[in-house]
């Protein structure tokens, strides 16, 4: 059965997990691959985990590579403070535990990870001096100062 991206996202959020699988079941509608007609089915948490596990492993490998290229003077801070996951996928159940296990550093998820980057950027922008220059000020690498 083929499902669309919104349905896949709903499955991931409601019953997906990077850790222990619960008893989750979710009815979905899709299209039969064989017959090409609409079909309903019940998807299990195990099926969702099997579908997302390859991507989780790629993410863990990318984090491991980033840690390997982290300068020695910063790696101690990462080990002490850990990694903070942001974005919508950070809401996946037990993703912090999965990544911590595979990468060997603490991983935590902030409250409302989907919007925390935007809120942080807003906080940063609110602290910039309002001296007649655009946001692309000289303190941003590669940015031009544009008088307003």
- Between CA 85 and CA 65 the distance in angstroms is 16
User: Which domains, ranges and CATH numbers included, belong to the chain?
Assistant: 5-108 (3.30.420.40)
pLDDT tens profile 49-93? 999 999 999 999 999 999 999 999 899 999 999 999 998 889 899
pLDDT grade for 8, boundaries at 50, 70 and 90: very high
pLDDT grade for 6, boundaries at 50, 70 and 90: very high
Give 58-108 as a DSSP string: HHHHHHHHHHHTS-HHHHHHHHHH-EE--SGGGGSBTHHHHHHHHHSS-EE
| Ramachandran sector of residue 94 (left: φ over 0; alpha: ψ -120 to 50; beta: rest) | left
pLDDT mean over 137-145: 55
Tokens of 77: 């801070």
- Between CA 12 and CA 81 the distance in angstroms is 28
- Provide the terminal-to-terminal Cα distance of the chain, rounded to the nearest Å: 55
Position 77 scores a pLDDT of 92
What is the model's pTM? 0.75
């Amino acid at each position: 059965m083929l499902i669309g991206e919104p349905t896949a996202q709903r499955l991931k959020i409601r019953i997906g997990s990077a850790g222990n699988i619960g008893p989750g079941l979710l009815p979905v509608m899709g299209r039969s691959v064989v017959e090409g007609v609409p079909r309903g089915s019940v998807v299990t948490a195990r099926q969702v985990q099997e579908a997302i596990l390859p991507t989780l492993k790629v993410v863990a490998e990318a984090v491991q590579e980033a840690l390997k290229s982290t300068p020695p003077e910063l790696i101690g801070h990462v080990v002490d403070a850990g990694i903070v996951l942001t974005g919508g996928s950070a809401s996946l159940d037990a993703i912090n535990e999965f990544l911590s296990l595979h990468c060997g550093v603490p991983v935590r998820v902030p409250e409302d990870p989907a919007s925390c980057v935007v809120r942080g950027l807003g906080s940063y922008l609110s602290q910039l001096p309002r001296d007649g220059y655009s946001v692309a000020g000289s303190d941003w690498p590669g940015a031009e100062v544009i008088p307003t």
